[in-house]
């Protein structure tokens, strides 16, 4: 099967990389111990903080987001430590599973694949934890498997209301630079993220933004660790360098992406995502299909997960979109496998790419014989024109 | 005004260049007299013939399409020579104007900016030219300013019916590799084309495909010429080289483009263009707007030119499309300036890019306050799904 | 300070990436769960084995080489386990330090920064380890800090002679695809490597080639681990996919690099490195300077480390090379800091790039006032011409 | 024959394009009638003047340098016009041959393939032209076939001394941005140039810088012309646009190249070329070989042409350099075919690339069995170090 024209990569990440960013990652590699590198490193270690809205250190690993998950756990906790999680979907579940593999004892406070984490449940659990055995509350900000975005400020308030000393650890791998995140204002102790979503980079870089309470905890404890160790990173980063060979070419791209995001302005970036997400949801509703996320306050600006009508295979549908229209959609994962498909609308995206995406979805519904109403693209266009 | 996401370059050429072709043009330049170049030149001079459907020589100039126009005239005609043209639009008119500047005497046999050249008119004029003073019939295959495609086989038949020895010279700058062209089968003596349309390359290369009758004419006459001279080109091309420095990096791209087009298959390429053009026309009709081309047999597979309702500025409309939706549309040229806009649907294009384009057009109609019916994108999607 | 022309990146890695490989890494990212990715993954997981000369699995991490060190240790050993190392230089020492951080008990059997690991010392130590407490012999194949290459076949023979069951674990981060390595033939249980040296890729990928005995050990034990875990990788790799988001764009590059290396032929690649290394050593000798490696059987084909005459700063010298001649040389690390400089001659290198490099070294010796004989480049050219 | 490592493209143009410039030419094409293009065009039409050291218009053609030759002749002269030339080599001769093809009557005032044009000869000829029939003196600034650079200020003085009204027309295709050229100060009426030499771009752009006297002459006369016509270009260029489709992607590159050259500073660029040229000449002399240019005041900063000893084939020698060392050298053209080879040292070049180049030349002399003295690279290094 030969495809013509531009591939529509509309999975919820990796998201399409802008052409100039791809070009930047294709620069010749440089000496990671030379003066030019030091300037590059200092510049981007300074600017990346603005993306996390923090004054504290952001550690950059040459690794996938999964690595940054492990880094956060390894620096903070010791085998046997208890942490509290909230299962908002497959990735929250995977992170919890990783914690178990690393010897921790995660407690799932609640499970809801159709909304964000529930602050009331968290508050309640923390209040009951009189001995303060729970070392941390670990929350996935934007659950990539479902399209729900947890409200971090409310969760912070819940922890405070319970008067509990737990660390607040957040995974925003698919949320960073798409959904607002205010590390310092919201009192987040560690933020985990990756390069291949809102940062519009290829996969291969990941991040731990580390607040002072977390840094202290890591100094006092944590697991035996080397690659993921914050302390050596932070020490050497002071001069713009890294303790081991960094993924230099992704850093070239990161430097450019930071310029682009800060030029557009983070609030404008968030507003753009919100608007395209709203257009997408209106299309889904017009089709008569259901959003997996059924809690409007948790709708994701990054992706929308659509439930397939009973008796229809989401994967067969996605195959049609790929074969007939050269578009990749995200699959349902784990317990929603084949039951949902996910539309990514993040990163380097604009109105017309979204319109093409929704047209591809609508035509594929038709071709797949999925019961639906026409007119989703129409409704989306109406909204986009009104808000142009 | 800062734009996010992919620019939709929907002018009727230059058309968007595929990423791998851009990368090919970005290879380091090589010695144009070395052995590697000879292999490249031989390969592409052989393959380019297939695109013109000819067994004869195709001359490649480092020049825009305008240069290849001049080349055809300079090799074939002497000052004072009469040629016959048909004004199908602005570019036919410009070519005629160039002929005048070069000292030729072009006769415009007919003018119709809303259809292709009329074979009956041509036949009639040739019959009346009893002394065979008309040296050539010069026709624009696909008129980029209007979206009409002339039927070359019919024009060939008209020349034959008139039993006239005129050369048949065709400009298919915007038609090549989008609209079928059969140089040898249709008895075309010279075909003029360029790189930046259906060939999906940046501008900077242009072509003269030269049949035997034309070559003979050029040997007997033509203007004083050097850069455009066919004879030296053809002689040196035998070994894969060029008489002066070629545009090497565009040739790297051309080599790849030829592979891609021949892999897809020319007939599949034409069918893809026809289908996307039909979808576009259905959208235009649904909007209640008029196609500048009012002759269905001449509808262009490359672009569709839309007439603005009286009292509305096409240029103001295009400005909205650019500013609000990051999409470039083609302007009206010369006597239809500000009265029409042109939608390019050529080259490296597929269904979803077209859907995004039409969505941009429809939303811009709304924002510009142009009276229209909604539903154009809907109608286009319906057609695209049915024919998927 | 503005530099013109091509930068000479002559550190012992990251090595200059060929232009076509950079272009490959600059392709648009694809869906890591789609069918195109599966084909890519299957192809490269098959071909990478040839580079390690193994029939067994090669695990690819989105990580620096340092991560692959950790992966090997984490999969094989449990806290408290004893391993034997040989300190051939800074990197062997760092690996040992990492083992300590991870809770292992490394024993340094010997230290020699001027030669490869001594098989006799290893054999002796293993013989004395009557209870077989030493779980593994961990050796750096090509010590990047000194330019010594250990003879792995001899070390294998030493382990066999001692009739000891220790695993044989080898780091060839800077040796892969430059110095011969025969994993299966030499009975190596785990090989650790990275992308940015002989593989001519940007940094960001690393490897564990895993033999059956190692795989068994990892199933029985190892540390708590998740990101580095072999078992999930190997299971999912069967279909060409990865358990978490891979560094897709580096994999595009890897696929091309494998084609290039296998086209040239591994033995030709090794011979090219040996020849350029010999030319370099002859230049160093002609200058009257000393190679840090004083054992000819351990000379590295990858880099040559040059000792500065007493009282002269290697770093000041390197600064001159950078500022005056736009060339990066490797610095002395740890206990040879400022006392040596390192010339990388690996990867995408040929005779003339080496000649330029040696010219830069020789001119910088002059400018830095380092006592030396002229004529090093001359001697190197003589050798290169004789062996052309 | 498979080559490894970087190709040394040491012909006197096309010269190697810097990686960032290649990347710039690989940007997606834009609408040549849109606002972004207008800004680009205005910027580069302004900056290109600085490279010619002129206040007047610089016309940019999508064409090779040969096209710009034709443009100058076509705008200035009418068939039958007399022009005076000086045959400094093959390219001066070709330009003259073009003039004949275009119907002009060129007179060759003198022939010297071993030096620049002789001002005394020119002055004498102009004095004898009492009726001022000579319309122009056409001089090749840097003769790419021989490596001689004519002294334009002296020729200007000769024309003035003869009190002759002839236009002064200069081809600096291979001299621009390598050898100083001061169009306005030296009273040059038209300067012809191209993109692929000192401008470090791929071939495909060429230039006519047009002074007021030339512009007047073109308005009063010239040949029938269209593509090459200055007047329409200059008129439309006022707004940053072009009368026909420009080679947009080369203009992206040109914009960057202008920034780079103006950042380095033209005088620094010239000094860099002079220094590398002097190093090359010293190497040639040390080899005991002869420079084709035997007039030191005319030595070219762009290339050095080396005469092969009697009985030795320059082409066989060049083949060895290509096959054994992956280096392209320039061939002898026309009457010096196979008798000389040419070393390009222009554009994006620095000391170490030159050292590699000279090493390749010296080793190839050895392999080809050409009688010579060793030590050329040594001598060049000595000079480069002294002047570092």
**A52-100 confidence digits (pLDDT tens):** 999 999 999 999 999 999 999 999 999 999 999 999 999 999 999 999 9
Name beta bridge partners: D327. Answer: D8
- The whole-angstrom distance between B322's CA and the closest CA on chain D is 9
Task: Using pLDDT thresholds of 50, 70 and 90, give the confidence band for residue C1.
Answer: very low
Mean pLDDT value across residues D226-235: 98
Mean pLDDT value across residues D113-132: 98
Cβ contact C356–D352 (<8 Å): yes
Condensed to tens digits (0 to 9), the pLDDT of residues C43-101 reads 999 999 999 999 999 999 999 999 999 999 999 999 999 999 999 999 999 999 999 99
- Whether chain D has a CB inside 8 Å of the CB on A23: the answer is yes
- Whether chain C has a CB inside 8 Å of the CB on D91: the answer is no
CA distance A199 to A190: 18
- Whether chain D has a CB inside 8 Å of the CB on B65: the answer is yes
Condensed to tens digits (0 to 9), the pLDDT of residues A246-274 reads 999 999 999 999 999 999 999 999 999 99
> Of all residues in chain A, what percent carry a pLDDT higher than 90?
99
Give chain A's length.
388
pLDDT higher than 70, residue D58: yes
> Of all residues in chain A, what percent carry a pLDDT higher than 70?
99
* Residue among B12, B281, B15 at smallest CA distance from B143: B12
Task: Using pLDDT thresholds of 50, 70 and 90, give the confidence band for residue A197.
Answer: very high
Mean pLDDT value across residues D356-381: 98
* Residue among C15, C346, C201, D18 at smallest CA distance from A250: C201
- Decide if C136 contacts C77 (C-beta within 8 A): yes
Element (H, E) at A96: helix A90-101
Q: Count the alpha carbons within 13 Å of D243 in the hemisphere toward its beta carbon.
A: 18
Chain A hits for D256, CB-CB cut-off 8 Å, are none
Condensed to tens digits (0 to 9), the pLDDT of residues B179-220 reads 999 999 999 999 999 999 999 999 999 999 999 999 999 999
- The whole-angstrom distance between B352's CA and the closest CA on chain A is 4
First to last CA, chain C: 37
Cβ contact A28–D19 (<8 Å): yes
Chain C hits for B28, CB-CB cut-off 8 Å, are 19
State the best of B194, B245, B254 to mutate against chain D, taking most chain D CBs within 10 Å.
B245
- Whether chain D has a CB inside 8 Å of the CB on A26: the answer is yes
Per the rule left: phi > 0, alpha: psi between -120 and 50, beta: everything else, B53 is left
- Whether chain B has a CB inside 8 Å of the CB on C5: the answer is no
Nearest by CB: B9 against D9, D31, D103: D31
Taking residue A3's Cβ as centre, other Cβ atoms within 10 Å add up to 15
Domain boundaries of chain B, sorted by first residue: 8-15+265-386, 19-263
Strands C148-149 and C142-143: antiparallel
Sheet with D8-10, edge to edge strand ranges: D8-10, D327-331, D340-344, D303-307, D290-291
- The whole-angstrom distance between A9's CA and the closest CA on chain D is 19
Cβ contact D63–B63 (<8 Å): yes
- The reported pLDDT for the residue numbered D300 is 98
pLDDT higher than 90, residue A3: no
- Whether chain D has a CB inside 8 Å of the CB on B226: the answer is yes
Cα–Cα distances (Å) from A250 to B233, C13, C25, in that order, read 46, 17, 10
Mean pLDDT value across residues C140-161: 98
Cβ contact B385–A375 (<8 Å): no
State the best of A23, A252, A256 to mutate against chain D, taking most chain D CBs within 10 Å.
A23
- The reported pLDDT for the residue numbered D3 is 79
Nearest by CB: C226 against A101, A196, A249: A101
Cβ contact C350–D5 (<8 Å): yes
Torsion of CA B113, B115, B118, B119, to 10 degrees: 140
Q: Which of the following CATH numbers is that of domain B19-263: 3.90.700.10, 1.10.10.10, 3.40.640.10, 3.40.50.720? A: 3.40.640.10
- Mean pLDDT across chain B: 97
- Decide if B62 contacts D62 (C-beta within 8 A): yes
Helices (H), chain D: 19-25, 35-52, 65-76, 90-101, 119-128, 152-161, 212-220, 230-237, 248-264, 266-287, 314-325, 351-368, 376-386
pLDDT higher than 60, residue C161: yes
- The whole-angstrom distance between C34's CA and the closest CA on chain A is 8
CA distance A307 to A285: 11
- The whole-angstrom distance between D251's CA and the closest CA on chain C is 21
Cβ contact A249–C204 (<8 Å): yes
Q: Does pTM surpass 0.95? A: yes
Contact partners, residue A338, CB within 8 Å, separation at least 6: A308, A313, A314, A315, A331, A332
- Decide if D208 contacts D72 (C-beta within 8 A): yes
- Whether chain B has a CB inside 8 Å of the CB on A322: the answer is no
Is 3.30.470.20 the CATH number for D8-15+266-386? no
Closest chain D residue by Cα to residue C345: D5
- The reported pLDDT for the residue numbered D2 is 58
Please name the residues between 124 and 183 in chain A that touch chain D, using a CB distance below 8 Å: none
C-alpha R_g of chain C: 21
Mean pLDDT value across residues B234-245: 98
Condensed to tens digits (0 to 9), the pLDDT of residues C163-182 reads 999 999 999 999 999 999 99
Cβ contact C67–A70 (<8 Å): no
Taking residue B119's Cβ as centre, other Cβ atoms within 10 Å add up to 21
Nearest by CB: B19 against C19, C20, C28: C28
Mean pLDDT value across residues D304-310: 98
Condensed to tens digits (0 to 9), the pLDDT of residues C106-120 reads 999 999 999 999 999
- Whether chain C has a CB inside 8 Å of the CB on A66: the answer is yes
- Whether chain B has a CB inside 8 Å of the CB on C36: the answer is no
- Whether chain A has a CB inside 8 Å of the CB on D23: the answer is yes
Sort A161 into a burial class: Cβ within 10 Å, 0-12 / 13-18 / 19+: middle
- Mean pLDDT across chain A: 97
Mean pLDDT value across residues B115-130: 98
Q: Which residue has the tokens 């024309």?
A: D159
Closest chain A residue by Cα to residue D25: A23
Sort D130 into a burial class: Cβ within 10 Å, 0-12 / 13-18 / 19+: exposed
Condensed to tens digits (0 to 9), the pLDDT of residues A294-329 reads 999 999 999 999 999 999 999 999 999 999 999 999
Task: Using pLDDT thresholds of 50, 70 and 90, give the confidence band for residue B2.
Answer: low
- Whether chain A has a CB inside 8 Å of the CB on D26: the answer is yes
Nearest by CB: B19 against C19, C20, C27: C27
- The reported pLDDT for the residue numbered D1 is 45
Chain B hits for A350, CB-CB cut-off 8 Å, are 3-6, 325-326
Cβ contact A359–B348 (<8 Å): no
- The reported pLDDT for the residue numbered A114 is 98
Cβ contact D26–A23 (<8 Å): yes
Long-range Cβ contact pairs of D232-238 (< 8 A, separation 24 or more): D233/D59, D233/D60, D234/D57, D234/D59, D234/D210, D237/D41, D237/D45, D237/D57, D237/D59
- Render the burial of B201-212: b for 16+ CB within 10 Å, e for the rest: bbbbbbbbbbbe
- Mean pLDDT across chain C: 97
- The whole-angstrom distance between B328's CA and the closest CA on chain D is 7
- Decide if A146 contacts A305 (C-beta within 8 A): yes
Mean pLDDT value across residues B309-317: 98
- The reported pLDDT for the residue numbered C3 is 79
Torsion of CA B222, B225, B229, B232, to 10 degrees: 120
CA distance B60 to B234: 10
- The reported pLDDT for the residue numbered B3 is 79
pLDDT higher than 50, residue A1: no
Distance of CA C215 to the CA centre of its chain: 23
- Whether chain A has a CB inside 8 Å of the CB on B263: the answer is yes
Cα–Cα distances (Å) from B79 to B101, B103, B131, B170, B315, in that order, read 10, 5, 18, 20, 39
Cα–Cα distances (Å) from D188 to A381, D130, D172, in that order, read 59, 22, 11
Is 3.60.21.10 the CATH number for C8-15+265-386? no
Chain A hits for C341, CB-CB cut-off 8 Å, are none
Same fold across D8-15+266-386 and D19-263: no
Cβ contact D377–C378 (<8 Å): yes
Condensed to tens digits (0 to 9), the pLDDT of residues A94-114 reads 999 999 999 999 999 999 999
Chain D hits for C3, CB-CB cut-off 8 Å, are 350
Contacting partners of chain C (3+ CB pairs under 8 A): A, B, D
- The whole-angstrom distance between C30's CA and the closest CA on chain B is 13
Closest chain D residue by Cα to residue C375: D378
Angle between helices B152-161 and B119-128 (to 10 degrees): 20
Condensed to tens digits (0 to 9), the pLDDT of residues A8-44 reads 999 999 999 999 999 999 999 999 999 999 999 999 9
Per the rule left: phi > 0, alpha: psi between -120 and 50, beta: everything else, D200 is left
State both tokens at C80.
């408290």
- Decide if D203 contacts D64 (C-beta within 8 A): yes
- Whether chain B has a CB inside 8 Å of the CB on D348: the answer is no
- The reported pLDDT for the residue numbered A108 is 98
pLDDT higher than 70, residue A2: no
- The whole-angstrom distance between A37's CA and the closest CA on chain D is 17
């Amino acid at each position: 099967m030969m495809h013509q024209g531009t591939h529509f990569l509309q999975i919820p990440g990796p998201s399409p990389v802008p052409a100039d960013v791809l070009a930047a990652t294709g620069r010749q590699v440089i000496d990671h111990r030379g003066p030019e590198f030091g300037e590059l490193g200092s510049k981007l270690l300074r600017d990346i903080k603005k993306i996390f809205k923090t004054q504290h250190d952001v550690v950059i690993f040459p690794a996938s987001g999964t690595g940054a998950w492990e880094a956060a756990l390894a620096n903070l906790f010791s085998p046997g430590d208890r942490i509290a999680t909230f299962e908002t979907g497959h990735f929250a579940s995977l992170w919890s599973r990783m914690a178990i593999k690393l010897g921790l004892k995660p407690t799932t406070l609640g499970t809801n694949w159709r909304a964000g984490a529930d602050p009331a449940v968290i508050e309640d659990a923390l209040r009951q934890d009189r001995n303060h055995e729970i070392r941390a509350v670990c929350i996935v900000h934007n659950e990539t498997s479902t399209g729900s975005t947890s409200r971090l400020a409310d969760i912070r308030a819940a922890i405070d209301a319970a008067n509990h000393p737990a660390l607040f650890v957040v995974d925003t791998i698919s949320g960073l630079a798409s959904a607002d995140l205010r590390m310092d204002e919201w009192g987040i102790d560690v933020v985990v993220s990756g390069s291949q979503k809102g940062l519009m980079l290829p996969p291969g870089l990941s991040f731990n933004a580390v607040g002072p309470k977390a840094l202290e905890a890591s100094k006092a404890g944590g697991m035996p660790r080397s690659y993921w160790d914050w302390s050596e990173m932070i020490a050497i980063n002071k001069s713009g360098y890294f303790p081991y060979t960094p993924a230099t070419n992704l850093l070239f791209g990161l430097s450019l992406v930071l310029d682009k995001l800060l030029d557009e302005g983070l609030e404008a970036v968030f507003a753009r995502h919100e608007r395209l997400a709203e257009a997408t949801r209106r299309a889904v509703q017009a089709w008569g299909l259901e959003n997996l996320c059924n809690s409007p306050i948790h709708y994701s600006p990054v992706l929308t997960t659509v439930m397939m009508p009973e008796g229809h295979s989401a994967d067969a549908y996605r195959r049609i979109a790929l074969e007939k229209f050269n578009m990749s959609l995200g699959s349902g994962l784990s317990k929603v496998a084949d039951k949902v498909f996910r539309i990514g609308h993040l990163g380097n995206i604009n109105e017309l790419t979204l319109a093409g995406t929704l047209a591809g979805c609508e035509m594929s519904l038709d071709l797949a014989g999925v019961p639906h109403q026409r007119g989703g693209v129409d409704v989306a266009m109406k909204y986009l024109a009104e808000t142009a």
